[in-house]
């Protein structure tokens, strides 16, 4: 009985950059024959999520960002070298945050050709140029945003735009192309409406979600990224969301993302930071995790601390943002 050698390291290295996925053509180029691939699948070492594509690490549980990029690669590898990622998959490859945890693989073929969907992979008929992001083909960021925003739920529209604006991912020319591409699309009216909730000061999608939960509960924050100073006027720290209390102090909400705040060093940093905040005697601090945002605990806790007589006096987000001003004018 013939014994197979190990999978070539170069193929596994290639897979690592493609969400642990490889195509049949890539396998053949590295000397992994159809028989060898079949034996790996039979043994459970690999799986085949769709025809011509293999998952080299099926037991790995991907983080949300990795899972979204994997969805993009699944479509690209399944449809071949003429495919480009579009919509939310393209946004994932561009590194945009705030997308749903699960996105459907979707691609377009060169020249807007038709393609047959299979195994949950959507083939869109878009005639758009592509760019290379890393080693993947995807439509440019303004095109991907125009394709996605009109189909996303409100919380993700706001979080995606928060992220794009906070990190200044679009230049002026790209902003104009996005606004023009949105015009006339089904759903563009609600995107314009929801853009009023966008605030480029949000530093993470979780902060954006928490802010929306509080807005919906009638306790919108008075300010974001509130700078707290000590008795000498020196900055001590910033709070993610802030509400002015009747006595002039601040109620601050800290939104702890699991990916960073579960690390021991980060927990120590957070503890020192919170102690410094409380020592100023000018703030009360609440700490929330992702689960508190999703189940509404953030808004309930904030409301209970603020009391019945609190009235919002929101600080307007920074002005002069070209995208938000353009969307408001349409």
| Winning range, highest mean pLDDT, from 15-24, 119-128, 253-262, 303-312 | 15-24
Look at residue 212 in the predicted model and tell me its pLDDT.
97
Over residues 204-242, the pLDDT tens digits come to 999 999 999 999 999 999 999 998 877 677 777 889 999
Sorting pLDDT into bands at 50, 70 and 90, what band is 9? very high
Sorting pLDDT into bands at 50, 70 and 90, what band is 5? low
What is the sign of the dihedral through the CA atoms of 170, 172, 176 and 177?
negative
d(CA 152, CA 147): 10
Residue carrying the six token digits 């095109």: 143
What is the sign of the dihedral through the CA atoms of 146, 150, 152 and 156?
positive
Of 210, 157, 159, 218, which is closest to residue 182 (Cα–Cα)?
Answer: 157
Is residue 164 a contact partner of residue 112, using CB atoms and an 8 Å limit? no
Look at residue 231 in the predicted model and tell me its pLDDT.
67
Angle at the Cα of 249 from the Cα atoms of 247 and 250, rounded to 5 degrees: 135
Phi, psi of 73 (to 5 degrees): -65, -35
Residues 6+ apart with CB under 8 A from 147: 86, 87, 90, 124, 126, 139
Other C-beta atoms within 10 Å of 98: how many? Answer: 22
Look at residue 266 in the predicted model and tell me its pLDDT.
45
CA 314 to chain centre: 26
Over residues 121-169, the pLDDT tens digits come to 999 988 878 999 999 999 999 999 999 999 999 999 999 999 999 999 9
Q: Is pLDDT of 101 > 90?
A: yes
Look at residue 327 in the predicted model and tell me its pLDDT.
80
Indicate whether this model's pTM tops 0.85.
yes
Look at residue 124 in the predicted model and tell me its pLDDT.
92
Of 127, 126, 131, 83, which is closest to residue 105 (Cα–Cα)?
Answer: 83
d(CA 106, CA 245): 48
Over residues 34-50, the pLDDT tens digits come to 999 999 999 999 999 99
Locate the DSSP E strands across the chain: 21-23, 47-50, 53-55, 83-85, 106-109, 122-124, 131-133, 136-138, 223-229, 235-244, 250-256, 283-289
Q: What value does the mean pLDDT take over residues 2-24?
A: 89
Is residue 24 a contact partner of residue 53, using CB atoms and an 8 Å limit? yes
Sorting pLDDT into bands at 50, 70 and 90, what band is 260? very low
């Amino acid at each position: 009985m013939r014994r197979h050698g190990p999978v070539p390291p170069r193929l596994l290295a290639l897979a690592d950059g493609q969400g642990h996925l490889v195509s049949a053509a890539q396998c053949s180029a590295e000397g992994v024959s159809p028989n060898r691939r079949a034996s790996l699948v039979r043994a459970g070492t690999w799986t085949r999520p769709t025809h011509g594509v293999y998952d080299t690490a099926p037991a790995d549980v991907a983080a949300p960002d990795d899972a979204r990029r994997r969805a993009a690669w699944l479509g690209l590898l399944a449809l071949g070298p003429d495919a480009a990622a579009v919509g939310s998959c393209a946004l994932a490859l561009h590194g945009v945050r705030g997308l749903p945890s699960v996105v459907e693989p979707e691609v377009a073929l060169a020249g807007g050709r038709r393609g047959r969907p299979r195994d949950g992979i959507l083939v869109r008929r878009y005639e758009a140029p592509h760019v290379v992001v890393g080693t993947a083909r995807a439509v440019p960021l303004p095109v991907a945003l125009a394709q996605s925003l009109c189909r996303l739920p409100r919380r993700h529209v706001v979080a995606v735009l928060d992220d794009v604006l906070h990190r200044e991912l679009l230049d002026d020319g790209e902003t104009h192309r996005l606004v023009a591409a949105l015009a006339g699309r089904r759903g563009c009216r609600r995107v314009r409406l929801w853009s009023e909730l966008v605030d480029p000061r949000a530093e993470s999608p979780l902060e954006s979600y928490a802010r929306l939960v509080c807005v919906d509960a009638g306790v919108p924050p008075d300010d974001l990224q509130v700078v707290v100073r000590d008795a000498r006027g020196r900055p001590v720290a910033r709070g993610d969301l802030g509400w002015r209390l009747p006595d002039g102090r601040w109620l601050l909400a800290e939104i702890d993302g699991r990916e960073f705040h579960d690390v021991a060093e980060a927990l120590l940093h957070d503890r020192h930071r919170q102690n410094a905040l409380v020592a100023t005697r000018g703030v009360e601090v609440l700490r929330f995790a992702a689960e508190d945002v999703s189940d509404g605990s953030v808004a309930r806790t904030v409301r209970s601390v603020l009391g019945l007589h609190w009235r919002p006096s929101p600080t307007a987000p920074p002005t002069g943002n070209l995208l938000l001003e353009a969307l408001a004018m349409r």
